[in-house]
């Protein structure tokens, strides 16, 4: 398992949605706060992104913005353009675009998308993202991300047999490319030293320990054993892990075990005994007690609420 993929999978619910948006001046869209996350890619023309907090951000062709926390935002062709309220439906989709004037050419073409997320167990890897992740177009930068955008645009422009599945998978791929690009860049341009989870993923020893936890959360890991995976002494590993991840190794292990258990209860009819084993418990009673301490409800009640 890789930690970034796991962190996204733990939060993702439902199907992501996307669409090409042709905009004609003057235009402006205001998106209400939502539980999910969204992105905009300017394919042609220009736009201004206006986050819920902070200054407007000028966007040009090839610029990608990702809004991780669903706090609401606006995007427009100019700062003084009138804003039209846009709300997503229950499936996370935007309303259909009006028919453009015959023979008209759009001032701006954007690729926009939305992801449905369960924030009740938000992974810290995502919660520490800024309100707006802005990846400006740069020659030679983010090649894989650009390729995914191009493929997604082609499928949306000219749907073919299999496009529904291809688009869904490309959207999942695009999200991972956006996050990978951010974490690889974070902290390096200004100081040369990543911070937070960017540093944790970049640190070979801590990354190895995190992979071990994610690959086998049921294993009875000890700090010493994880330290061996990291190539560090027990004390040195505990200090470095806590400094970079933000919590001690076994605290994170317990959190991830419970997060994995919650996802199994939410998404499948897995027997409680099996869920307990995946979470590292040989006793259903001990697991149920730990789960209730973490979530505030018993596993069965949690499953019924999620269904």
Q: Identify the helix (H) or strand (E) that includes residue 7.
A: helix 3-11
Q: Give the per-residue pLDDT at 124.
A: 87
Give percent above pLDDT 70 in the chain: 91
Q: Are both 127 and 34 inside the same structural domain?
A: yes
User: Would you say residue 97 lies in a domain?
Assistant: yes
Range scoring the smallest mean pLDDT among 89-93, 191-195, 244-248: 191-195
Q: Are both 154 and 213 inside the same structural domain?
A: no
Q: Are both 54 and 24 inside the same structural domain?
A: yes
**Model confidence over 39-66: pLDDT tens digits?**
999 999 999 999 998 999 999 999 999 9
Q: Give the per-residue pLDDT at 138.
A: 84
Q: Are both 46 and 164 inside the same structural domain?
A: yes
Q: Are both 154 and 209 inside the same structural domain?
A: no
CATH code: domain of residue 66 = 2.60.120.280
Domain count, the chain: 2
User: Would you say residue 286 lies in a domain?
Assistant: yes
Model confidence at 187: pLDDT above 60? no
Q: How far is CA 46 from CA 105, 211, 284, in A?
A: 14, 41, 57
CATH code: domain of residue 291 = 1.10.10.60
Q: Are both 271 and 164 inside the same structural domain?
A: no
69 Cβ neighbours under 8 A, 6+ residues apart: 37, 129, 131
- The residue from 134, 157, 185 where one domain ends is 185
User: Would you say residue 116 lies in a domain?
Assistant: yes
Model confidence at 191: pLDDT above 50? no
Q: Are both 173 and 218 inside the same structural domain?
A: no
Q: Are both 119 and 223 inside the same structural domain?
A: no
**Residues β-bridged to residue 108:** 23
Q: Are both 160 and 224 inside the same structural domain?
A: no
- 109 is in which domain, residue-wise? 3-185
User: Would you say residue 37 lies in a domain?
Assistant: yes
Q: How far apart are the first and last CA of the chain?
A: 27
Q: Are both 68 and 177 inside the same structural domain?
A: yes
Q: What is the average per-residue pLDDT within 265-274?
A: 87
Q: Give the per-residue pLDDT at 193.
A: 57
DSSP label of 121: G
Pairing of strands 28-31, 73-76: antiparallel
Cα–Cα distance between 63 and 55 in angstroms, integer?
Answer: 17
Q: Give the per-residue pLDDT at 7.
A: 86
Q: Are both 266 and 299 inside the same structural domain?
A: yes
- The residue from 132, 155, 185 where one domain ends is 185
Identify whether 10 is preceded by a cis peptide bond (ω within 30 of 0).
Answer: no
User: Would you say residue 198 lies in a domain?
Assistant: no
User: Would you say residue 101 lies in a domain?
Assistant: yes
- The residue from 136, 158, 185 where one domain ends is 185
Model confidence at 136: pLDDT above 80? yes
User: Would you say residue 192 lies in a domain?
Assistant: no
Q: Are both 292 and 177 inside the same structural domain?
A: no
- Per-position DSSP letters for 223-262, written without gaps between them: HHHHHHHHTS-HHHHHHHHHHHHSS-HHHHHHHHHHHHHH
- Per-position DSSP letters for 100-150, written without gaps between them: PPTT---SEEEEEEEEEE-GGG--HHHHTS-S-EEE---TTS-HHHHHHHH
Q: Give the per-residue pLDDT at 161.
A: 92
User: Would you say residue 54 lies in a domain?
Assistant: yes
């Amino acid at each position: 398992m890789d930690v970034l993929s796991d962190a996204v999978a733990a939060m993702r619910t439902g199907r992501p949605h996307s669409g090409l948006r042709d905009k004609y001046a003057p235009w402006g869209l205001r998106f209400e706060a939502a539980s999910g996350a969204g992105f905009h890619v300017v394919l042609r023309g220009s736009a201004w992104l206006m986050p819920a907090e902070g200054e407007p951000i000028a966007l040009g062709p090839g610029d990608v913005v990702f809004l991780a926390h669903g706090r609401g935002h606006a995007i427009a062709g100019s700062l003084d353009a009138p804003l039209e309220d846009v709300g997503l439906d229950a499936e996370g989709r935007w309303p259909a675009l009006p028919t453009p004037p015959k023979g008209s050419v759009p001032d701006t073409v954007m690729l926009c998308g939305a992801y449905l997320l369960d924030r009740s167990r938000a992974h810290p890897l995502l919660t520490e993202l800024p309100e707006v992740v802005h990846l400006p177009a740069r020659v030679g930068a983010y090649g894989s991300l650009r390729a995914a955008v191009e493929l997604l645009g082609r499928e949306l422009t000219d749907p073919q047999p299999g496009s529904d599945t291809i688009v869904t998978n490309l959207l999942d791929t695009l999200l991972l490319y956006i996050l990978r690009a951010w974490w690889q860049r974070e902290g390096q341009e200004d100081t040369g030293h990543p911070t937070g989870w960017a540093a944790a993923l970049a640190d070979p020893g801590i990354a190895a320990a995190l992979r071990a936890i994610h690959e086998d959360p049921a294993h009875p890991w000890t700090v010493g054993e994880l330290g061996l995976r990291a190539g560090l002494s027990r004390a040195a590993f505990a200090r470095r892990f806590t400094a970079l991840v933000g919590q001690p190794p076994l605290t994170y292990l317990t959190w991830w075990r419970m997060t994995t258990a919650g996802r199994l209860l939410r998404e499948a009819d897995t027997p409680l005994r099996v869920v307990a084993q995946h979470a590292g418990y040989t006793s259903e009673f001990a697991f149920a007690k730990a789960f209730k301490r973490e979530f505030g409800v018993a596993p069965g009640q949690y499953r019924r609420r999620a269904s």
